[in-house]
Structure 1
Amino acid sequence: MKIIFVDGYNVINSWGNLKREKETSLDSARQKLVDILHNYGAINGCKIVIVYDGHKVTGNIENKYEHNKNLLVVFTKDGETADAYIEREVHNLGRRFEVYVVTSDSLEQQTIFQRGAVRISSVEFYNLVRVDIEDVKKSSKKARVSAKNTLEDNLDDDVLRKLEAIRRS
């Protein structure tokens, strides 16, 4: 199973569309990230864990919100960074799963490598997500075009030839 840990605020601040959204509403930017990654996880058959820092929120306890079986959103507890949470979870998973961590934090990247996970920068991940979305759009467009049911598809060749002869005369 492929598990992808995402440093939520790192991604929001790295992706232009989410960064602009954050200027209006942080909750809206977080929700858009959830929606995007929910689709990405469904397309790729992987589990996504979005982790947000809660270390600066006094008295905050760890909160987990499971959106579905493939998407989990975590707000870390008071005094714990998203990086620390991700490192602990990656360490606990060991090398039993294919684990990826999405962050552009260079110190985090080194720690992740030592724990056996693969690091993807926020910008690299944005490009992966964008390509998948474009592929899905192309596939669905092709499916709509090929699903058209025309008269020509339902007539045999002899009738088509006769109709074409009438059209040309």
Structure 2
Amino acid sequence: MEEYLIVDGYNIIGAWPQLQKLKDTELEEARDKLIHMLAEYQAFSGMKVYLVFDAYRVPGLGKKYVQSKLRILYTKEKETADELIESLVTKLVGRRKQIYVATSDMMEQHVIFGKGALRLPSGELLTKIEQSRREMRAKIRQEPASKRNSFDSNLKNDVKDALEKWRRGK
């Protein structure tokens, strides 16, 4: 089953303490930090993540781009993130697909639930991201050095001996 996560960017920034502190002084840095966290989470979880930011106060056609394999979308002029999220859910919903929407907006949670997506409150997403980071660190620590792909572990002893003699000039 394919899993998708659609994230209401500014809603999450306003809900997570470490990003909320940044938002008032360094909004771009808060966005970058969220992008980095979600890209890491996407790589570990295998979910396809869409990050949606409001741009309804900014004139333009909306923007879509990929950064670190994370799909980032800015809304069009006079379009809200909620509207874009709802249209994404409608487009993605289907058989063998599970769609989650991360937002703390209760009205939006009810609307997307009615369209077939599951809601993921911002606090729960933060917990999932922190858990995946812990699991990643534990996995890295557990991997023994012998399992690492080193060049000399793949060589036969006679080849190792010949290379060692050559290195020493014999």
TM-score normalized by structure 2? 0.80
Aligned equivalents of 1:94, 1:129: Cα separation in 2: 24
Hey, what does 1:84 align to over in structure 2?
A: 83
For residue 44 of structure 1, report the CA deviation from its aligned partner: 0.9
1:86-105 CA deviation, whole Å, 9 max, x = no partner?
A: 00111122323211100010
Aligned residues: 145
Hey, what does 1:147 align to over in structure 2?
A: 145
Aligned equivalents of 1:107, 1:77: Cα separation in 2: 21
1:8-44 CA deviation, whole Å, 9 max, x = no partner?
A: 0011111111111223311111111111110100101
Aligned equivalents of 1:137, 1:18: Cα separation in 2: 22
On the 8 A contact 2:93/2:99 being kept in 1, the answer is: no
Aligned equivalents of 2:7, 2:41: Cα separation in 1: 12
* Root-mean-square deviation (Å): 1.6
Hey, what does 1:40 align to over in structure 2?
A: 41
Percent identical among aligned pairs is 36
For residue 77 of structure 1, report the CA deviation from its aligned partner: 0.8
TM-score normalized by structure 1? 0.81
The 5-angstrom pairing of residues 1-169 of structure 1 reads 1-57=2-58, 59-68=59-68, 70-96=69-95, 97-143=97-143, 146-147=144-145
For residue 60 of structure 1, report the CA deviation from its aligned partner: 2.3
Q: Secondary structure at the match of 1:24?
A: coil
1:76-118 CA deviation, whole Å, 9 max, x = no partner?
A: 0111110100001111223232111000101001111111000
Q: Secondary structure at the match of 1:39?
A: helix
Q: Secondary structure at the match of 2:24?
A: helix
Aligned equivalents of 1:134, 1:93: Cα separation in 2: 30
Aligned equivalents of 2:99, 2:70: Cα separation in 1: 15
Structure 2 alignment gaps of length 5 or more: 147-170
Q: Secondary structure at the match of 2:85?
A: helix
- Bigger Cα Rg: 1
For residue 129 of structure 1, report the CA deviation from its aligned partner: 0.6
